[in-house]
Amino acid sequence: MTGLSRRTTLVKATHAAGAPDISERTMIARRQLLRFFAASPLLTATSLGTISTLLTANSDALAQSYDVLRGSRRAFGPDGIITAPADALDVFEFEPAAKKAVLSQDAPAHWGYLQSGVDGDVTRDANHTAFAKYNIRVQRLIDARKIDTSVKIFGETWASPIFMCPVSSLGAYDPEAGVTVARAAAKRNHQMILSTVDNASIVDVNKAHGRPAWFMLYPTDDWNVTRALVQRAENAGSPAIVLTVDRQGGRNTETLFRERRQDLRECSGCHTPGFTNEVSRKANFADIDVSKVTNLYGTGMTWEFVDRLRGIVKGKLVLKGIMTGEDAKEALRHGVDGLIVSNHGGRAEESGQATIGVLAEVVDSVGGRIPVLIDGGVRRGTDVLKALALGATAVGIGRPYVWGLASFGEAGVDRVLQILDDEFITIMRQVGALDITHITRRCVTSA
């Protein structure tokens, strides 16, 4: 029961005993609210902002779950779906809002594309549920009012360890695609990785982000195209090329196919038939000859391909999609600078293996020589903390920011980041971690 509904019940009971009428009750409620603020340590806030706003505005303020702040004064529709980003209490609340927005454009196939895992979506779901296999060990009586969430990676400082994963075709959810995401990420100083096949180009995204994003590479099966993509990203300033290695061999995105059945639109207007057209219409391929490309993901890619790529990448080379200690060691041997433990959000293979479950194995295999990042199923600040405790340097989110994007554009992405940052700060305080270096394996235990 929320604080507001509890209060309503209380008022009803008092009224039965000959208590105040509606206008008097309103006055009493207002007085109670004012009294609450007068007694509140959060009094410095001039408006009824969210706890999150207060947290980030004043690093000395501590979050308190006062019901009066949790309760929203907005009228929700009968569907209970949020109508403004500020109303969201957690990132999950953006999911139905995004669905509603996408379906209102009669685009169930786009919704299916975003949500889909492969086969029965078991791996997609396992990514999140597996975080429950770890509990957090809290520490008491540590003054944790001042928290520093920044991380250093490849010489860059990020304000938060939470980064935005590459997601293809963001244009299905926002007209400016990755550029809108970049603006939101920049506002909170989060790093992002742009997909080769986003609708926005790395040049425009880097401008909107204010500093260069990392570039995620689908190499294609034409080396000239690979090289041109890398050069474009590096010329735009991108400090890291992220080769995704988990998309060879095909996949069965059943949830997408099921939603596609409901989609009555003529898709060929945007999805021009023919593989080359699919590739060439994406901004990062502009002015590159893709006529020989038959496969976006690279055909028969092996470690020799990594060597060849290593030979042309001037900045950092990161592999995304590593799920075993053996592959992590192999990556070290091939001069890779960083790894992302990922199964593509459960969209690559139906292994049933959650990313968080293999993180420690990968981290132990590289022994601190290169950073290990992770994504998949991260939905809470506590998930971020667990991943960092198990050795991740940074933690990626995919679908949650796209839910924010699809439902409310830049403001939605911004609120998703704010919620996760604030949840993360709150749990850092509870474990007594004043900065990221204090988050160690001692902070988690097996559930």
Ligand X SMILES: Cc1cc2nc3c(=O)[nH]c(=O)nc-3n(C[C@H](O)[C@H](O)[C@H](O)COP(=O)(O)O)c2cc1C
CA 108 to mean position of chain CA atoms: 22
**Of 320, 218, 280, 251, whose CA–CA distance to 113 is shortest?**
251
Q: Return the number of the residue (209 or 344) whose C-beta is nearest ligand X.
A: 344
In the complex, residue closest to ligand X by CB: 398
Note if 438 is an active site residue.
Answer: no
Question: What's the length of the chain?
Answer: 447
Full DSSP string of 262-281: H--S-GGGTS-SSHHHHHHT
Burial class (CB in 10 A: 0-12, 13-18, 19+), 283: buried
Two tokens, residue 345: 């959000």
Q: How far is CA 342 from CA 18, 106, 319, in A?
A: 63, 31, 10
Q: Which residues are CB-neighbours of 97 under 8 A, at least 6 positions away?
A: 81, 82, 83, 88, 403, 407, 408, 412
Min CB(247)–ligand X separation in Å? 7
Two tokens, residue 167: 């997601």
Angle at 275 between CA 274 and CA 277, to 5 degrees: 70
Q: Rounded CA gap, 5 and 71, in Å?
A: 9
- Whether the CB-CB separation of 213 and 238 falls below 8 Å is answered with yes
Q: Rounded CA gap, 151 and 153, in Å?
A: 6
CA 212 to mean position of chain CA atoms: 18
- Binding interface with ligand X (CB under 6 A): 113-114, 127, 165-168, 195, 197, 216, 244, 320, 342, 344-345, 347, 375-378, 397-399
Q: Rounded CA gap, 143 and 152, in Å?
A: 24
Q: Rounded CA gap, 231 and 127, in Å?
A: 34
**Of 371, 312, 311, 305, whose CA–CA distance to 338 is shortest?**
371
Min CB(218)–ligand X separation in Å? 7
Q: List strand residue ranges (DSSP E) for 183-256, in order.
A: 193-195, 214-217, 240-244
Q: Rounded CA gap, 238 and 241, in Å?
A: 7
Two tokens, residue 44: 């410095």
Straight-line distance from the first to the last Cα atom of the chain, in angstroms, rounded to the nearest whole number: 28
Q: How far is CA 181 from CA 357, 409, 412, in A?
A: 29, 8, 10
CA atoms within 13 A on the CB side of 121: 15
User: Which member of 110, 209, 344, 438 is catalytic?
Assistant: 344
**Of 391, 397, 392, whose CA–CA distance to 423 is shortest?**
397
Two tokens, residue 211: 């500093």
3-state secondary structure of 56: helix
Q: Return the number of the residue (239 or 396) whose C-beta is nearest ligand X.
A: 396
**Catalytic residue numbers, as ranges:** 344
